Amino acid sequence: MSVLIDGSTKLLVQGITGRDGSFHARQMMEYGTRVVGGVVPGKGGQSFDDRVPIFDTVAQAVAETGADTSVIYVPPVFAADAIYEAADAGVGLIVAITEGIPVLDMTRVMPFVREHGARLIGPNCPGLISPGQSKVGILPGQICEPGPVGVVSRSGTLTYEVIHHLTGAGIGQSTCIGIGGDPIIGTSFIDCLDLFENDTATLAVVMIGEIGGTDEQEAAEFVQREMATPVVGFIAGQTAPPGRRMGHAGAIISGSEGTAAEKMEAFREHGIAVARRPADIVGLVEEALG
């Protein structure tokens, strides 16, 4: 079992002929993801690698293929439009990998996505993977193994690091979700924790946060209030100076708000075991699994 995606997920790739889109479309197909179509305006009627039909619009692609999920690899200038188009075409799960979408665009995209009943993951995220079933995005499939641990993270490579430790210790994952490093993202920690709590195959959750905002603090309260599944936490950026953007647009301590210390404290207060190093996560997960 898993959350959000599984072996039945039918995926569209928006921007399938681009540099990143084509590379990762192949990686996803190799992993076993059912890539049912690509969307590139002006290339409708062609096919990608002689296997995947390309459409001019998402609406056409959905009508022809019955796709339920779309992943977006288009450049930032076109990415907000690509999200609108996917939501308007009735795609239920939209995964935006693109980094660099203006934040005001996202404030307009979000209400539109919700009104269309869609869920957005990202932007500026590595996507998600349900090991052994499907992957949508750019996470390296070979480091994952199927198993009982849900992983949710604002980061990309740090998530790989944690998954690598888990797999190395023989602990597999139900689904790993990268929610993205931007200030405004479609799916929050709480949304993912809620999904994991209701997934019978997820027996423990690893939550990887970072400096900036208060999503982790709110998630900590949710864990205590709503969850029976144990949660292990890690926060990156304990040494980050205030007021400086640490790579991710959302990774910035504003004034005194959003520090790692404050988030780790919120985790501890609400019964989340906090790892001080990525390597310590394994031991805490083993304890949680009992």
Measured between its terminal Cα atoms, the distance across the chain in Å is 20
- Binding to another protein (CB under 8 A): which residues in 34-53? none
CB of 107 to another protein, least distance (A): 5
> Is residue 30 close enough to count as binding another protein by CB under 8 A?
no
Produce one character per residue of 84-118: b if its CB has 16 or more CB atoms within 10 Å, e if not: bbbbbbebebbbbbbbebeeebbeebeeebeebeb
Subset of 150-189 contacting another protein (CB under 8 A)? 153-161, 164, 181, 183-184
Q: Work out how close the CB of 31 gets to another protein at its nearest, in angstroms, rounded to a whole number.
A: 13
Q: Looking at beta carbons only, is 4 or 208 nearer to another protein?
A: 208
**49 — alpha (psi -120 to 50), left (phi > 0) or beta?**
left
**Residue 33 and residue 134 in contact, taking contact as beta carbons nearer than 8 Å:** yes
Least distance (Å) between residue 260 CB and another protein = 8
Q: Which is nearer to another protein, 70 or 155 (CB)?
A: 155
Query: What are the structure tokens assigned to 133, written together?
Result: 């079933």
206 binds another protein (CB under 8 A): no
Q: Which stretch binds another protein (CB under 8 A): 4-12, 28-36, 65-73, 138-146?
A: 138-146
- One residue of 53, 146, 278, 283 binding another protein per CB under 8 A: 278
Q: Name the CA dihedral angle for 167, 131, 97, 266, rounded to a multiple of 10 degrees.
A: -60
One of 5, 204, 208, 227 touching another protein (CB under 8 A): 208
Q: Which of residues 213-252 bind another protein (CB under 8 A)?
A: 213-215, 218, 234, 236-241, 243-251
74 CB-side CA count, 13 A: 21
Is residue 84 near another protein by the rule CB under 8 A? no
Among the listed residues 10, 20, 29, 262, the single contact to another protein using CB under 8 A = 20
Catalytic residue numbers, as ranges: 248
Alpha helices by DSSP H, the chain = 19-31, 58-65, 76-88, 103-115, 157-168, 189-197, 215-226, 260-269, 281-289
Residues 150 and 230: their CA atoms lie apart, in Å, by 10
Only one of the segments 37-45, 61-69, 148-156, 199-207 lies at the binding site for another protein (rule: CB under 8 A); that segment is 148-156
Contact between residue 167 and residue 114 where contact means Cβ atoms under 8 Å apart? no
Written as one letter, the residue type at 193 is: L
Q: Which is nearer to another protein, 127 or 150 (CB)?
A: 127
Binders of another protein: how many residues, by CB under 8 A?
64
Interface residue list for another protein (CB under 8 A): 20, 23, 76-77, 100-108, 110-111, 126, 138-140, 143, 153-161, 164, 181, 183-184, 208, 210-211, 213-215, 218, 234, 236-241, 243-251, 255-257, 260, 276-279
